[in-house]
Structure 1
Amino acid sequence: MRTTILSSVCLALATFATASAKSSYDGYKVYRVKTGINGKAVQSKLASFDFEQWNHDSTSHIDILIPPSQTAPFEALGLDYHVMHANLGDSIAAESATSTSNFKRQADNSTSWYDSYHPYADHIQYFDDLHAIFPNNSKKISSGKSYEGRDIYGLHLWGSGGPGKPAVLYHGTVHAREWISAPVVEYITYQLVTGYKSNDATVRTFLDSYDFFILPFVNPDGFVYSQTTQRLWRKNRQPGPNNSTCFGRDINRNWEFAWNATARGASSNPCSETYKGEAPSDTPENKGLDAFVRKLRDEQGIKLFIDWHSYGQDILSPYGYNETLYAPELGKWTKAANLVSSAIREATEDRTTFTFGPSGAALYATTGAAPDHVYSIGGAEFSYTIELRDTGDAGFVLPPEQIRPSVVEQWEGQKVLISLLDEVFFDGKGLA
């Protein structure tokens, strides 16, 4: 979900609409530069460089992508930095290696899917396979079509008594380059399906209590583009307004609620990575998602919503558009996030830590963002953005060996969170 600050070289990449060849990042380096109390001085020294900033909150550090022609001059500045990617092209090549031969028709008994990244068509097949092994308790769903006509597909899962219970709604791959979000959403789906089939008591309680609506690719056009043409593409693939040469809107700045609340939360510039569009829901992706949210609200209510992103290891609740406005539910959201973070830390050998808090205060301002909208308009009782791994040397280009630990730790966190949704824990008898 991290936004970018683009200078001339990266702007040319970000606005390139119909590339004839895949963008190369050979020789590009990614640096983590310490800022702290010297942040303004660091930014001043970087003013003459062509770079893309990966992280938005630069209080302690900035992660920046530098083209080959400027790596030597940058290193000569003498800043306090370490190298995240010595050659981003090599990292992307390693990340993009795929292995899809073992998953087909094994979705019920194999987790080999989570050892590598996969082409978009295989993701569709994987969800089809999960549906096929759980036909009486699942239904293929769609929130509509993307700008380029791809189906925003998903699965609806339920337990005993049939569908119609309060909804748990998961979104993935809102931002195209955040590849790790889809496997996380898929793994949770896999655990729900296989756990229910094997009579796992915890999973049966979940599916007997809630209907799960799971959409792994909210931005399929952008994801395909990130695989075929430009790895670091973020937005959808909708043309800009008024014959603009820039493409794409940020679907997570396009929601109706607080769409134009502050100038700092999104951009009106079609070339910006956080371009919010000309009006709320003027992307076909968001228009369909918004209708889907309102339908769930009216028909069965939304108990929990999570929008999965990367990177930074954060669990963020509303509000994003205002750093000082706190929702009445903030107390229970924060306590639940604390327990989720603890479960993840205890389940990982390296004690992976997720920070938590209201999005605007804990991280940075976001207007027209999904968690604010699904809480305020959709009536979700719990609403979060979860920023996945990492906080170290990978950033958006998370190596395949980190897929499995990422998905496993998120399932551990979700088991805790879903178990808390109806607990008296929050009603004044426990920690509330």
Structure 2
Amino acid sequence: MRFLRVALFIAPLAVGVQIDRQGRETYDGYKVFRVVTDDEQLTGFEAQLGSLSAIELSRNRGHIDAHHFDIAVPPESLDAFEALNYEAETLTEDLGADIALEGELQPFPGLEKSTSGVAAAALPSFSWFSAYHPYADHLTFLKSLQAAFPSNSELITAGTSFEGRTIQGIHLWGSGGKGSKPAIYYHGNVHAREWISSITVEYITYQLINNYSNDTAIKAALDNYDFYILPIVNPDGFVYTQTTTRLVRYPSPPVLATCGGESLLRGVGTDINRNWPNGHWDGAGSSTSPGSETYRGEAPGDTPENTGIRIFGDKLGAGKGIKLYIDFHSYGQYILTPYGYSCSATAPNQSKQDTLARNTGAAIAAVHGTRFTTGQTCATLYATAGGSNDYFTDVTTAELAWAIELRDTGTYGFTLPANQIIPTGEETWAGQKYLWANF
């Protein structure tokens, strides 16, 4: 097998791929199924995914002898899939129609005319949260947020992506002054197709700034902690999902894997969230194959994105320390504590983390009734060797290091309609407010 690093993303080649007028792959006629397998069926089913040209969207291997996969099957493979006779539930009749519900990408909407918050005239319009947006407009949004809070914020960078994009974020602080308090460190969109994660992180940022002067609980949070927020830590992949192929996990950097003269083009590259050098990089839950969406890389921490966000986090840990780290994902509605590399290992403060996670879930549910499952990553969902919350627990020694999988549980999956952005933000905001007040 020969591996060749390439500087450009490679469009997946699948049977029946359709391209729209903007050059983007469409998914018209794809059906999404939840397939249940047992241990004996598992290996055979995984092998059959490729022959079906199916896209694996999600899997849950947290329960002994029971595994479920969410897969998108193209129309020309539907008969072959049904002939396999697996136990399956139809989640989506037409994936292309679901993607249409996300709406077209909308430009930056400008600034608010009035609000009760800090520097009201300079805040971005709240209508930002009514749609999804092009990558460049996310950068404009961050700049506008910083301009609305000029004495208590700065734009930050955490390295550069494989294609040369700056990993951009924002640092917020309160009355103690810049860099004077323990850190709260948020990541979004490490996996390219998880659009709801970045805009939810931005919702949290917006509300922190808007409520600092009129909500004593928010003022206390910013006075007690420095917030370091990176909404899009995989900018190359994010751009690719907006311009070419919506549903790729698309890790970075891409790798063209050639086996017997055939190229493996779907899901290639290194999964940034299996690349963390936490001492368990080569364990269960990651792959050695560049053709896998959970490819761990050639060496621990060898992606430029991981290097940038890791060095930034290391500096925070070596400074005032990290009180809370959260990597926001979708989908599934989980609050996941360490560890991912082992289903039996526990964090030193596991009992405290379990209680806080359950109560955070209750705070989320109180807003719109959305229920989150809480627990340790491996035992609750699946093994994730080389994951970020393990790294921040063991290496950077954050007090709390979580992964949160946002809405939903599979009805729309990664293609959450735009009208769910604000409800997702509202409930996530409530959960975070609970955490900040109850550490």
**Same-fold call, TM cutoff 0.5:** yes
Q: Does 1:220 align with 2:235?
A: yes
Q: Is the 8 A contact 2:282 2:296 kept in 1?
A: no
Work out which of the residue numbers 137, 141, 145 in structure 2 matches 1:126: 141
Match of 1:358 in 2: 376
What is the CA deviation profile of residues 47-77 of structure 1, one whole-angstrom value per residue up to 9, with x for unaligned ones?
A: 7634232222153632111111022343466
Distance 1:40 1:283 in 2: 30
Query: Is the Cα contact below 8 Å between 2:181 and 2:225 reproduced in 1?
Result: yes
Give the deviation of 1:237 after TM superposition.
3.7
Matching residue of 2:210:
194
**Partners of 1:344 and 1:412 within 8 A in 2:** yes
Partner SS for 2:255? coil
Q: Distance in 1 between matches of 2:359 and 2:248?
A: 34
- Letter matched to residue 253 of structure 1: R
What does residue range 392-407 of structure 1 map to in structure 2 within 5 Å?
392-407=410-425
Alignment RMSD: 2.7
One-letter identity of the residue aligned with 1:51:
A
Pairwise mapping of residues 21-60 of structure 1 onto structure 2 (< 5 A)?
Answer: 21-35=23-37, 43=45, 49-57=52-60, 59=66
Deviation at 1:298, TM superposition (A): 1.2
Distance in 1 between the 2:218 and 2:47 partners?
Answer: 53
Task: Specify the alignment match of 1:277 in structure 2.
Answer: 297
Native 8 Å contact 1:30 1:63 kept in 2: yes
- Range moving further from structure 2, 339-348 or 94-103: 94-103
Residue 108 (structure 1) shift: 2.5
Pick the aligned partner of 2:346 from 326, 343, 347: 326
Contact 1:145 1:152 in 2 (8 A): yes
Question: Matched residue of 1:56: which SS?
Answer: strand
Aligned partner letter, 2:33: Y
Please name the residue that 1:102 is paired with: 109
One of 343, 368, 386 as aligned partner of 2:363 = 343
What does residue 307 of structure 2 align with?
287
The answer as to whether partners of 1:347 and 1:412 remain within 8 angstroms in 2 is yes
- Residues 1:39 and 1:419: Cα distance change in structure 2 (over 3 Å): farther
Q: Where in structure 2 are there 5+ consecutive unaligned residues? A: 1-10, 114-121
TM-score using structure 2 length: 0.85
Q: State the Cα distance separating 1:242 from its structure 2 match.
A: 8.2
Partner deviation per Cα, 1:137-157 (whole Å, 9 max, x = no partner):
001000111011111010000
| Change over 3 Å in CA distance of 1:125–1:46 after alignment to 2 | same
Deviation string 1:390-412 (CA, Å, 9 cap, x unpaired) is 11411111111111111110000
Counterpart pick for 2:90 among 83, 90, 98: 83
Q: Report what 2:7 is aligned to.
A: none
Question: Partners in 2 of 1:405 and 1:212 — Cα distance?
Answer: 23
For each residue in 1:299-323, what CA deviation from the matched residue of structure 2 results, as whole angstroms up to 9, or x when unmatched?
1110100000011100111110011
SS at match of 2:72: strand
Tell me which protein shows more strand as a share of its residues. 2
1:332-387 deviation line (CA, Å, top 9, x unaligned) = 00000010000111111xx2110111111111111111111011111100110000
Closer, same or farther: CA 371–13 of 1 in aligned 2, 3 Å: farther
Structure 1 portions without partners, runs of 5+: 1-9, 422-432
Please state whether the residue corresponding to 1:54 is helix, strand or coil: strand
Deviation of the 1:127 alpha carbon? 0.8
SS in 1 for 2:348: coil
1:203-242 residue pairs with structure 2 within 5 A?
203-240=218-255
**Structure 1 pair 140–389 and aligned structure 2 pair: CA distance change class (3 A):** same
Q: Which amino acid is the alignment partner of residue 71 of structure 1? A: L
1:217 CA displacement: 0.6
- Equivalent-residue separation in structure 2 for 1:45 and 1:152 (angstroms): 36
- The structure-2 alpha-carbon separation of the partners of 1:43 and 1:237, relative to structure 1 and needing over 3 Å to count, comes to closer
SS at match of 2:375: strand
Match of 2:407 in 1: 389
User: Which amino acid counterpart does residue 196 of structure 2 have in structure 1?
Assistant: I
Give the structure 2 partner of residue 115 of structure 1: 130
Corresponding residue of 1:61: 68
Displacement, 1:268? 1.1
Shift of 1:328: 1.6
8 Å CA contact 1:253–1:259 kept in 2: the answer is: no
Report the CA distance between 1:240 and its aligned residue: 2.2
User: What is the CA–CA distance in structure 2 between the aligned matches of 1:242 and 1:100, rounded to whole Å?
Assistant: 37
Measured after TM superposition, the shift of residue 37 of structure 1 is 9.2
The alignment of Structure 1 onto Structure 2 pairs a total of residues equal to 405
Alignment-mate amino acid for residue 141 of structure 2: Y
Tell whether the 8 Å contact from 1:259 to 1:280 is kept in structure 2 after alignment.
no
Match of 1:129, SS state, is: helix
The alpha carbon displacement at 1:79 in A equals 5.1
Work out the CA distance in 2 between the residues paired with 1:39 and 1:104.
55
| Aligned equivalent of 1:140, options 135, 152, 155 | 155
Q: The residue matched to 2:222 in structure 1 has which SS?
A: helix
> TM-score when scaled to structure 1?
0.87
Shift of 1:182: 0.6
Per the alignment, in what secondary structure is the counterpart of residue 55 of structure 1? strand
SS in 1 for 2:192: coil
- Which residue of 2 is the match for residue 316 of structure 1? 336
* Structure 1 position 374 matched with structure 2 position 376: no
Say yes or no: does 1:74 pair with 2:81: yes
The alignment partner of 1:153 has SS state of: strand
Instruction: From the superposition, tell whether residues 109 and 274 of structure 1 become closer, same or farther in structure 2 (CA, over 3 Å).
Output: closer
Residue 329 of structure 1 and its aligned partner are, at CA, apart by 1.1
Secondary structure of the corresponding residue to residue 32 of structure 1 = strand
8 Å CA contact retained: 1:166, 1:211: yes
Counterpart AA for 2:405: E
